Chain A
Amino acid sequence: MADISSYKVAGFNFTIEGELPAMPNLEPFRSTEGMPIFKLQIVSSMAPVPSTPVFKTDDGPGFPEITIDQLYSGGFRFRMRPQPGLPLAAELRTSEDFTQASLLLIEGDKPFAINNSLMLLFAFSTARHGALEMHSSVVINDGKGYMFLGKSGTGKSTHSSLWLKHIPGTTLLNDDNPILRLMPDGSARVFDSPWSGKTPCYKNMEVPAGAVVRIRQAPFNKIEKLPAVQAYASLMASASSFRPFKELADGWHQTLSGLVAVLPCYVLDCLPDQAAAELCHKTVHG
């Protein structure tokens, strides 16, 4: 009997079958209640399969590179490298609906490959269920989650740390990859995930989403509320959606358009200073 570990993230269960390395980030999310939305099996070998190339991610040096192929038998495979030019770390094969997957760990950092596989499977299998994996740093203040978006290096985490320092009662929910959900009742809610980048917190908490703020560097501080279409574009740019998957686009669109109807979205041009955090807090807190 193989080891099966069960987890729940943002209200969705999944299981991993097979021997896992130590993964402290997953521990707070262990849960056995509920039906899994996907099952990942860690395997020790894979037979070659015919496939046709679909897409290769191109996020540049320093970022993982993922090559995606469609299998003739249906389903997909994802071959992952920690960076372009490095040897393959792992191969993930999924069913067409992303509910079943197997993972072969080839070389190097096992938690890297397992976490990346889980993030892919989570994003795809929840696409039709109102969930988005966001690239965002999120703080909690007064019981609500405030999500900061922005390209890598624009200062999302810095802005979070300014809130933590200068806005009383602020805590960090997740610094890198929270889950934003459009709930069945139409409200927006943000959840911690096991994926939090360089600042692990792993609280396994959830709060109503208060606002989303796109951060841009500027020589001044100014905040503006975005109209619906720009809000949609802002959320979409920071959601981990894989655009080649047409089948999933409808689900993501439903989620994004539902979210912009209920969730205020802003753009903050700012300096990395206390005044920026105070302006932002005063505006989004209402």
Chain B
Amino acid sequence: MKIKDGFILRSICGEYIVVGEGLAQVNFNKMLSMNESAAYLWKEITGKEFTREDLVQLLLDQYEVSKEQAAADVDKLVDTWLTEGVVEQ
């Protein structure tokens, strides 16, 4: 998977959102709220191809969390990103 062209992570007063910018995302009129760990993952995978396993490993590197919990969180997050259309297979 990878992040679609034109989606940018922005920080506002300590909170994170993803917005569509540029011609590629001119019709994306939403903002996607990100918590701190989602924003961390987003930064790590920006400009790269990634798999769900990559994201699980990134969470395990950064947070005190079980592999099962990390995998469940990643599944939920990636499903949201796919539904909202900010990443593509």
Contacts and interface: CB of A to CB of B under 8 A. Distances in A.
A257 B11 contact: yes
Q: What secondary structure prevails in chain A residues at the interface with B? A: helix
B21 A243 contact: yes
Contacts of B6: 246
Given A228-B15, A229-B17, A233-B31, A54 B23 contact: yes
Given A229-B17, A229-B33, A244 B23 contact: yes
A55 interface: yes
Given A55-B26, A244-B23, A246-B23, A253 B31 contact: no
Contacts of B21: 243, 246, 249
Nearest to B28: A243
Interface residues of B, number: 17
Contacts of A243: 20-22, 25-26
B12 A249 contact: no
Contacts of A256: 12
Which size class do A's interface residues fall under?
A: 10 to 19
B23 A228 contact: no
Nearest to B31: A233
A197 B35 CA distance: 41
A243 B26 CA distance: 6
Given A229-B15, A232-B17, A260-B12, 17 more contacts: A55-B23, A228-B14, A229-B31, A232-B31, A233-B31, A243-B22, A243-B25, A243-B26, A246-B22, A246-B23, A249-B21, A249-B22, A256-B12, A257-B10, A257-B11, A260-B13, A261-B13
